[in-house]
């Protein structure tokens, strides 16, 4: 059974990125996957402290806070879904806080290790980025996905997918676009049945 972990990066529980992620996750569950969802905005946590304890004395992040169970769940997942609005051309600070803490997944001396050996995670995980952007111009903010795709590849996410909606601003905008939800559902079904 495929194990999917979904992190909601928006503070809006029924916002556009959450609605798209939910469509993906529900269809994946119907197709047999196990899905665990965390709403990051409900958790209390700090960003990476740069203490390097995870490179010197520990194999995991030494901070003990709301992200601790999230980091453990992501370690064990086959598919990670990261859902976020575009905020000032970036992912939300809620999601960035999680991403920085994934530094703890990197092996000590990771920079000098060959690709494929840098991560403490089992290789072959799949990353899905779900991005909701208010601006209608599709050529804006296209850098977000490839930047994080590159960085999370170091952590062992060797397959990646993007679900992106432009021109969604108010809550309910994505829910009113059946083609978006269908794209999310199709991807959810594919991910649930893919051989990991």
Tell me which residues touch ligand FMN (CB under 6 A): 10, 12, 15-18, 85-89, 132-135, 168-169, 171
Considering the complex, state which of residue 65 and residue 138 has its C-beta at the smaller distance from ligand FMN. Answer: 138
Alpha-carbon dihedral sign for residues 79, 85, 91, 92: negative
The residues facing 109 across adjacent strands are none
Considering the complex, state which of residue 94 and residue 102 has its C-beta at the smaller distance from ligand FMN. Answer: 94
**In contact, 4 and 33? CB cutoff 8 Å:** yes
**Least gap, CB of 144 to ligand FMN (angstroms):** 10
**Least gap, CB of 155 to ligand FMN (angstroms):** 24
Considering the complex, state which of residue 133 and residue 153 has its C-beta at the smaller distance from ligand FMN. Answer: 133
Residue nearest ligand FMN, CB atom distance:
15
Instruction: Report d(CA 9, CA 84) in Å as an integer.
Output: 5
**Least gap, CB of 25 to ligand FMN (angstroms):** 15
Considering the complex, state which of residue 54 and residue 86 has its C-beta at the smaller distance from ligand FMN. Answer: 86
**Least gap, CB of 132 to ligand FMN (angstroms):** 4
Q: Which three-class secondary structure state does DSSP give residue 130?
A: strand
Burial of residue 132 (number of CB atoms within 10 Å: 0-12, 13-18, 19+):
buried
Instruction: Report d(CA 149, CA 80) in Å as an integer.
Output: 12
């Amino acid at each position: 059974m495929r194990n999917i972990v979904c992190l909601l990066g928006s503070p809006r529980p029924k916002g556009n990125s959450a609605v798209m992620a939910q469509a993906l996750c529900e269809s994946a569950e119907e197709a047999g996957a196990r899905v665990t969802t965390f709403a990051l905005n409900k958790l209390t946590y700090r960003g990476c402290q740069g203490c390097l304890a995870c490179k010197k004395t520990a194999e995991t992040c030494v901070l003990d806070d709301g992200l601790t169970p999230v980091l453990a769940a992501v370690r064990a997942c086959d598919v990670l879904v990261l859902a976020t609005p575009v905020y000032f051309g970036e992912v939300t600070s809620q999601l960035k806080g999680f991403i920085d803490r994934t530094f703890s997944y990197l092996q000590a001396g990771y920079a000098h290790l060959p690709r494929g050996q840098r991560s403490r995670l089992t290789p072959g995980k799949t990353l899905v980025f779900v991005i909701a952007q208010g601006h209608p111009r599709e050529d804006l903010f296209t850098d977000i996905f490839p930047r994080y795709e590159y960085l999370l590849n170091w952590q062992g996410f060797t397959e990646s997918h993007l679900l992106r909606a432009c021109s969604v601003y108010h809550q309910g905008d994505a829910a009113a676009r059946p083609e978006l939800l269908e794209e999310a559902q199709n991807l959810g079904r594919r991910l649930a049945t893919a051989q990991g």
